[in-house]
Amino acid sequence: MANAQKQNKLKIKKGDQVVVLTGRDKGSKGEVLKVLTDERRVVVQGINMVTKHNKPSQFAAGGIEKKELSIHVSNVALADPKDGVATRVGYKTLKDGKKVRVAKKSGETVE
């Protein structure tokens, strides 16, 4: 049970700026809107856009809607806060005992 929980922990959080590494949106940057930990996927603003045709219902008008689909977490990397390039994520414990995420490339903390 403990192993399954540890496996689902992701180093990318909601609100992070990320860079897409592969796929049709390669090189694009965006903000993480949602993290799906069980499927190990993230929804990034403006990335993996699809057109959805909605049928009109009693509550909503139909029409064509553009929306973001999820992308696997291995296909995105955190954008370095210093210069915006892709970087890996590490952890560091501060003097006051607080654990923070750190960009491996520049060594800066990630909020």
Helix (H, G, I), strand (E, B) or coil at 3: helix
CATH topology for the 2-84 domain: SH3 type barrels. (2.30.30)
- Is the model's pTM score more than 0.85? no
Q: Which residue ranges make up each domain of the chain?
A: 2-84
CB-based contacts of 77: which residues, under 8 Å, 6+ apart? 18, 19, 21, 86, 87, 88
Q: Tell me: the pLDDT tens digits for 20-56? A: 999 999 999 999 999 999 999 999 999 999 999 999 9
Name the average pLDDT for the chain. 92
Q: Tell me: the pLDDT tens digits for 59-92? A: 999 999 999 999 999 999 999 999 999 999 999 9
Q: Tell me: the pLDDT tens digits for 96-108? A: 999 999 999 999 9
